[in-house]
Amino acid sequence: MGTSWVQLSETLTGRAKEKRIPLMGQFELTSRCNLQCKMCYVNNSASDIQAISRERSAKEWIQLAEDAGRAGMLYLLLTGGEVFLRQDFREIYGEISLMGFNTHIYTNGTLITPEIASWLGQRPPSQIEISLYGMSPDTYGKVSGFTWGYERALRGIDLLRSQGINLKLRMTLVQGNIHDSERFAEFAQERGLEFGYVKYISPRREGCNTYPEAERLSPELLAEFEMNLDKHFGFEEPKQFEHFALGKALDASPFDEWNVESCDPFYCTAGKCSFWSTWDGKLTPCSLLDSPAAFPFENGFLKAWSALQALCSSIPVCGKCSECPLLQECWTCPARLKNETGFFDKPAPYLCELAQRIHGNLKAAQKL
Amino acid sequence: MKIKEGFMLREIADSWVVVPVGKRVVEFNGLISLSESGALLWQKLENGAAEEDLLKSMLHEYEIEEDAALADIRDFIRTLDEKGLFE
């Protein structure tokens, strides 16, 4: 029993990748949200009747969890949209919390009431990650569309903390809130909470009223932020930061184990030991993609998982990217290329410029 | 000796992992990794077992000297006890 958390996770992930066991599942329970962040990749309005009618039922999500669990799922993320908009969230989570998963929940925290916090405190997930979109009503409103969200998010954080639930805060960096990064770090530290940030904003995954490209940081600004994290988060001493990546598609030095010769388009765990299940019932490699897709609710989880692996292996590798001298500094991946350009194998100008900027900054700092 | 309610032993990717469920996450938020023999002992302790029951199981399942098995069992029990996993 002497294995550390990190060692155990690494061992399990390595074996699961090799054996194609769906160790990590991500359930997108809804596309609807009570906020309207312009940079969101999936965001229908809270009362969208059409979206509601296409959501999968609580019974279906519970069944999917059971089936995925039997196939080896250990880590489970429940996310949206905003999961607490679902009237049947308690039914779903209540069942799933007893199935033996290490469960995380993503939420904006604004719908957390004393009653919900108390209920969660009786059956806490391993962690709840709360997105904060600004550190004042004004900034929060500019980014999410609703100034009232700020106070409600803070109330949600404190209610969950009062239940002893393990919380982590994250900030999605966009033009409208980058000036709040230092205040965000202070706030997290004041409350003794871990924090991280989402640094890459993808073009939207599916049709909704957002335009993330207009909100995200320019390659120049993002590269500068990355280079000076301590300054932007207000630390006098260098600190290690956890970078949240949507769909966990990006890790530090992701290409170290990536073998271009293997023709494996994904350097991450997508389609090998992790999957994403969209709100309307598709099984996809990660959060950014709505294709390739398999259909677990129609064909059963195991068949869909098997089909997804086959579909992933047919995704073309971007030849230009794999031969690029800046690959080690680049944030490229098939999902990002697809959303940026419409193709899996076409270099994306935003990512190319970002890699050039990062490379230039590193070189200037004589770190290469 | 009996392990508290609210833990689930799972075999995943050729590993034995114990996961806290429901309210148990409040006091134990993480995973426990067990060896194969640890998993055998855990299964016995889930239903309640005395040291001699555990020893009998170990000797039945593995080719191991009795003294060595007993030492392993006591070590395992001490670790569980230190983590507050017994009722």
| Nearest-by-CA chain B residue for A102 | B19
Q: Give A93→chain B minimum CA distance, Å.
A: 10
Of A8-17, A116-125, A321-330, which has the strongest mean pLDDT?
A116-125
- CA-to-CA distance for A75 and A83, rounded, in angstroms? 17
What number is the ipTM of this complex?
0.94
**Best to test chain B binding among A1, A76, A98, A168 (most B CBs inside 10 Å):** A1
Using CB atoms, which residue from B19, B30, B33 is nearest to A101?
B19
**Cβ within 8 Å, pair B25-A123:** yes
Smallest Cα–Cα separation from A198: which of A288, A75, A274, A275?
Answer: A288
| Nearest-by-CA chain A residue for B20 | A100
Query: Which of residues A272 and A368 earns the better pLDDT score?
Result: A272
Q: What is the pLDDT of residue A26?
A: 97
Size of interface A-B (CB pairs under 8 A): 63
Q: Residue A362: exposed, middle, or buried by beta-carbon count in 10 A (0-12, 13-18, 19+)?
A: middle
**Cβ within 8 Å, pair A102-B23:** no
Question: Does position A38 have pLDDT exceeding 90, yes or no?
Answer: no
Query: Which of residues A245 and B80 earns the better pLDDT score?
Result: B80
Interface residues of chain B, partner chain A, Cβ below 8 Å: 8, 10, 12-15, 17, 19, 21-23, 25-26, 29-34, 38, 76, 79
pLDDT digits (tens, 9 = 90+) for A330-357: 999 999 999 999 999 999 999 999 999 9
Q: What is the pLDDT of residue A107?
A: 98
**Cβ within 8 Å, pair A164-B26:** yes
Contact at 8 Å (CB) between A282 and A266? no
Q: What is the pLDDT of residue A358?
A: 92
Mean pLDDT (whole number) for B2-25? 95
Q: Residue A192: exposed, middle, or buried by beta-carbon count in 10 A (0-12, 13-18, 19+)?
A: exposed
Q: What is the pLDDT of residue B25?
A: 93
Residues of chain A found within 8 Å of residue B14, distances taken between Cβ atoms: 15
pLDDT digits (tens, 9 = 90+) for A45-73: 999 999 999 999 999 999 999 999 999 99
Contact at 8 Å (CB) between A222 and A353? no
Which pLDDT band, with edges at 50, 70 and 90, does A254 fall under? Answer: very low
Token couple for A12: 């399990």
Percent of chain A with pLDDT over 70: 90
Q: Give B60→chain A minimum CA distance, Å.
A: 22
Which pLDDT band, with edges at 50, 70 and 90, does A259 fall under? Answer: low
Contact at 8 Å (CB) between A43 and A208? yes
Sheet containing B7-12, strands listed edge to edge, beginning at the edge strand earlier in sequence = B7-12, B15-20, B32-34
**Cβ within 8 Å, pair B14-A15:** yes
Token couple for B61: 């399942």
- CA-to-CA distance for B14 and B32, rounded, in angstroms? 14
Mean pLDDT (whole number) for A66-91? 97
Q: Give B12→chain A minimum CA distance, Å.
A: 6
CA pseudo-torsion sign A279, A281, A286, A288: negative
pLDDT digits (tens, 9 = 90+) for A95-135: 999 999 999 999 999 999 999 999 999 999 999 999 999 99
The mean pLDDT value of chain B amounts to 95
Q: What is the pLDDT of residue A251?
A: 38
Q: What is the pLDDT of residue A368?
A: 53
Question: Does position A245 have pLDDT exceeding 80, yes or no?
Answer: no
Residues of chain A found within 8 Å of residue B13, distances taken between Cβ atoms: 12, 15-16, 19, 21, 23, 72
Question: Does position B7 have pLDDT exceeding 80, yes or no?
Answer: yes
Q: Identify residue B23 by its one-letter amino acid code.
A: K
**Cβ within 8 Å, pair A74-B30:** no
Q: What is the pLDDT of residue A247?
A: 31
Question: Does position A265 have pLDDT exceeding 50, yes or no?
Answer: yes
Query: Which of residues A156 and A214 earns the better pLDDT score?
Result: A156
Question: Does position A2 have pLDDT exceeding 70, yes or no?
Answer: no
- CA-to-CA distance for A68 and A23, rounded, in angstroms? 9
Residues of chain B found within 8 Å of residue A15, distances taken between Cβ atoms: 13-15
SS (H, E, C) chain A: CCCCHHHHHHHHHHHHHHHCCCCEEEEECCCEECCCCCCCCCCEECCCHHHHHHCCCHHHHHHHHHHHHHCCCCEEEEECCCHHHCCCHHHHHHHHCCCCCEEEEEECCCCCCHHHHHHHHCCCCCEEEEEECCCCHHHHHHHHCCCHHHHHHHHHHHHHHHCCCCEEEEEECCCCCHHHHHHHHHHHHHCCCEEEEECCCCCCCCCCCCCHHHHCCCHHHHHHHHHCHHHHCCCCCCCCCEEECHHHCCCCCCCCCCCHHHCCCCCCCECCCEEEECCCCCEECCCCCCCCCECHHHHCHHHHHHHHHHHHHCCCCCHHHHHCCCHHHCCCCHHHHHHHHCCCCCCCHHHHHHHHHHHHHHHHCCCC
What is the reported pTM? 0.93
- CA-to-CA distance for A272 and A26, rounded, in angstroms? 14
**Cβ within 8 Å, pair A12-B79:** no
pLDDT digits (tens, 9 = 90+) for A287-319: 999 999 999 999 999 999 999 999 999 999 999
Using CB atoms, which residue from B8, B26, B79 is nearest to A100?
B8
Question: Does position A249 have pLDDT exceeding 70, yes or no?
Answer: no
A25 backbone dihedrals φ, ψ, rounded to 5°: -115, 145
**Cβ within 8 Å, pair B17-A3:** no
